[in-house]
Amino acid sequence: MSFIPQKIRILKFIAEQGVVTVDDINRGLFEDNKYSIIRVTLHQLKIAHAKFGNIKHGVWYIDKPELFDLLKTFFPNIPALEVKPLLLYQVAHNLEINRIRIALEKTSHIAIDQWWSERFIRALPSPIGGRIATTNIPDAIFWRRRTDGTRQKFFLEYERTLKNKGRYEEIFRSYAHRQDVDNKNVIYICENNFIKAELEQVEAKLAKAGKLSGAGFFFQFVTLDNFYKTYSNNPTKKEEEQ
């Protein structure tokens, strides 16, 4: 691939993730402190921003279609991403997904070969296949590169709050019908132990009723804290002062 300017790398990260903080960009794309450069770049690109909680410098998102056109000049195969309104009730969930992605991409435990965010998946020109394409879009799909050069596909779901149990039954059964779901490659990262236990109960109930071929075949359930403890990059502090 030809040289990609720093500002385009920043733009791509924002475009894929939807809403980000300055800290997300710094930890996701750089190895040292680039906060000042990032802020200047965000203003130069005219990236929109809004206050959110006590996050210094707020959150940043794309509200100009021409920025996606600019991105296309460097990444012609990227799907046709569109401007989406900033939905404040989704921001906390989205920012945690950013931190999860960064943890996985920075860890020495596994090598991430490719990452598709929910935003990226929704922009694909054709369904990703199987019933899940129409009934549920995961928070991310990523591929792990094995030491032998092969790739392993994972579906990632972050459960910040608990959905209706009937909805989980539908989603679990939909995943189980996919040909590319096996060997526990659907990872549920749960905000707390209560949510984790509830999802495990749903899986056990479906398996007992014969609606899943068994428990422990398709899904992994892990708390957010334990997920971060597993990886070297541990962004448990939500936002650092810059």
Domain ranges in the chain are 1-86, 109-242
Q: Report the alpha-carbon distance of residue 65 to residue 15 in Å, rounded.
A: 11
- What is the band of 29 on the pLDDT scale with cuts at 50, 70, 90? very high
Residue 70 has pLDDT above 70, yes or no: yes
> 21 with 95: CB under 8 angstroms?
yes
Q: Report the alpha-carbon distance of residue 58 to residue 36 in Å, rounded.
A: 14
pLDDT per residue over 84-115, tens digit each?
999 999 999 999 999 999 999 999 899 999 99
pLDDT per residue over 111-149, tens digit each?
999 999 999 999 987 655 444 444 579 999 999 999 999
pLDDT per residue over 201-215, tens digit each?
999 999 999 999 989
> Which residue do the tokens 């020495």 mark?
108
In this structure, which topology does domain 1-86 adopt according to CATH?
Arc Repressor Mutant, subunit A (1.10.10)
Residue 136: per-residue pLDDT: 78
Q: Report the alpha-carbon distance of residue 43 to residue 50 in Å, rounded.
A: 13
Query: Which position has the higher pLDDT, 133 or 26?
Result: 26
Residue 126: per-residue pLDDT: 64
Cβ-proximal residues to 123 (8 Å cutoff; 6+ apart), any chain: 79, 80, 81, 82
Task: Say what percent of the chain tops pLDDT 90.
Answer: 86
Task: Say what percent of the chain tops pLDDT 70.
Answer: 91
Residue 23 exposed, middle or buried by CB count within 10 Å (0-12, 13-18, 19+): buried
* pTM summary value: 0.91
Minimum mean pLDDT range among 17-21, 27-31, 237-241: 237-241
